[in-house]
Amino acid sequence: MTTAAVPHTDPPRTAMLEVADLSLTVRRGQDRKPILASVSLTCAKGEIVGLVGESGSGKSMTLRTAVGLTPANAEVSGQVHVSGREMLGASPKDLAEVRSRTASMIFQDPRAHINPFQRIGTFLTEVLRLHQGLSKSEAGRTAAALLAEVGLPDPDRHLRQYPHELSGGMLQRVMIAAALASEPELLLADEPTTALDVTTQAEIMSILLRLRRDRGLSIVLVTHDLDLAVAVCDRIHVMYAGSIVEANSATELARAPRHPYTAALFAARPAPDRAELHAVSGRPLGLYEVKGGCAFAPRCPQAIGHCHDTAPQTREGDGHRVTCHLPADPAEPAALAPGLTKGERR
C-alpha cells in the first residue's frame, strides 16, 4: 500500500495584533486633519515587528490608536484586533481590560510616566495590586522579582529609591517591569531606547529580546533607528505621512529596499565607509498637507510626472508590500497613471 506524502506546512501563528485599513482624522472646529490612512499590519505571537519612519509619520499614533488611546476629537475607522478582541468601538471598560491584561506599552521618556515623588516600590506595587489583585506583601515580592528579571542589580534597594536616584536606563527597566506587571502577551514599545546612550540602548534591547524568548512576548517596536529595527525585528513596516509605504521581512528590506523612501532612509544612515551623509532632502509632510498624488513626491528623486497628481496603488506578494508607481522589478516599466497610454507617460 502506498500513502500519499503529506506536505509539511507550518501551523498558522496566532495574530496578537491585527490592524486593518486603520484611518484616523482629528477634528478642530470645522477643520478636519487626516493623520493616518489605511494602515494595515499584523504582529504574530512571539514576533517582533518594527514600525520605522521619521518623526510625525504616524508610528506612535498607530500604536496608541491600536489600544484605544486616541485623542477625544479623533474619528477612527478600520479594524483593530488585539488577541482577537475588536478594539475600535469597544467600551472604555473593555479597552482598559485589554490594556491591563493583554497589551502593555512602554514609552520613550520614562521620567514623563512615573511620579517623581513616589518611591519605585510604591509605583510598582500599586501597578501589581491593580492588575493582579495581589496583597501588599505579595506585590512587594513580585516587584523585586520583576526588577531582577529586567536586570537591575539590587532590587530591594531600588524599590526604596525615588526616580531621580536612577539613571535613564535603570528607569526604563523599571518601566519595562511595570509593563510586565499585567503579564501581557503583547508589548507596544514606543521609541524605548531613543533617549538612551548606545550601550544602555543595547542592554534594553537585549532585555526585550530575552522577554520575547522566555515569555513568548509579541513586540511592536516603534523606532526611527533603521539599524536597530533591522537587527532585532522579524518584519519591518516603513511609515510616511500616516501610511505604510513598504513592509517586508527585516532581512529582505535591508537587502533590497524597493520604495524610494525606504532606500533614502537606508542611504541616510552614517557608515564608516561613507564620506558624507545623504540626508533625505526636504521636510516630511503630514498626511493633512498632501494635496493629491504620492505624499513622498516632493522629496522623491525617482518621481515621475503622474506621481504628483495620482496616488500610487499598493502591490503585495511574497510577504512584501509596497505603495509606489515604480515597478517591483526595475526592468519593468513604471506604472502608468489611470487613463494614460504608454506614449502619454508624463
Helix (H, G, I), strand (E, B) or coil at 49: strand
> Counting contacts by CB under 6 A, is residue 336 touching ligand SF4?
no
Q: What is the CA radius of gyration of the chain?
A: 22
> Counting contacts by CB under 6 A, is residue 240 touching ligand SF4?
no
Contacting ligand SF4 (CB under 6 A), which of 246, 294, 321, 337?
294
> Counting contacts by CB under 6 A, is residue 297 touching ligand SF4?
yes
> Counting contacts by CB under 6 A, is residue 302 touching ligand SF4?
yes
Complex with ligand SF4: residue 107 or 296, whichever CB lies closer = 296
> Counting contacts by CB under 6 A, is residue 70 touching ligand SF4?
no
> Counting contacts by CB under 6 A, is residue 325 touching ligand SF4?
yes
In terms of Cα–Cα distance, which of 131, 166, 127 is closest to 143? 127
Contacting ligand SF4 (CB under 6 A), which of 217, 221, 300, 337?
300
What is the Cα–Cα distance from 22 to 44, expressed in whole angstroms?
Answer: 18
> Counting contacts by CB under 6 A, is residue 287 touching ligand SF4?
no
The distance of closest approach from Cβ of residue 57 to ligand SF4 in the complex, given in angstroms and rounded to an integer, is 14
Residue pair 203/197 in contact by the 8 Å Cβ criterion: no
Q: Bridge partners of 236?
A: 50, 248
Q: What is the DSSP string of 53-71?
A: -STTSSHHHHHHHHTT---
Distances (CA, A) of 219 to 16, 187, 193, 205, 243: 9, 5, 14, 11, 20
The distance of closest approach from Cβ of residue 320 to ligand SF4 in the complex, given in angstroms and rounded to an integer, is 15
What is the Cα–Cα distance from 323 to 312, expressed in whole angstroms?
Answer: 6
Residue pair 136/166 in contact by the 8 Å Cβ criterion: no
Helix (H, G, I), strand (E, B) or coil at 242: coil
Complex with ligand SF4: residue 222 or 307, whichever CB lies closer = 307
In terms of Cα–Cα distance, which of 58, 67, 11, 14 is closest to 217? 14
The distance of closest approach from Cβ of residue 286 to ligand SF4 in the complex, given in angstroms and rounded to an integer, is 16
> Counting contacts by CB under 6 A, is residue 263 touching ligand SF4?
no
> Counting contacts by CB under 6 A, is residue 296 touching ligand SF4?
yes
Can you read off the three cell numbers belonging to residue 184? 501581557
Complex with ligand SF4: residue 107 or 261, whichever CB lies closer = 261
What is the Cα–Cα distance from 340 to 346, expressed in whole angstroms?
Answer: 9
Complex with ligand SF4: residue 48 or 294, whichever CB lies closer = 294
> Counting contacts by CB under 6 A, is residue 123 touching ligand SF4?
no
In terms of Cα–Cα distance, which of 316, 340, 336, 339 is closest to 326? 336
> Counting contacts by CB under 6 A, is residue 242 touching ligand SF4?
no
Contacting ligand SF4 (CB under 6 A), which of 150, 196, 219, 324?
324
DSSP state of 339: T
What is the Cα–Cα distance from 50 to 234, expressed in whole angstroms?
Answer: 8
Instruction: Choose the binding region for ligand SF4 from 143-151, 176-184, 292-300, 313-321 (rule: CB under 6 A).
Output: 292-300
Complex with ligand SF4: residue 12 or 330, whichever CB lies closer = 330
Complex with ligand SF4: residue 12 or 339, whichever CB lies closer = 339
Contacting ligand SF4 (CB under 6 A), which of 185, 260, 287, 321?
260
How many residues does the structure list for the chain? 346
Longest dimension (CA), the chain: 77
The distance of closest approach from Cβ of residue 323 to ligand SF4 in the complex, given in angstroms and rounded to an integer, is 7
Contacting ligand SF4 (CB under 6 A), which of 303, 328, 336, 340?
303
Binding interface with ligand SF4 (CB under 6 A): 259-260, 294, 296-297, 300, 302-303, 307, 312, 324-326
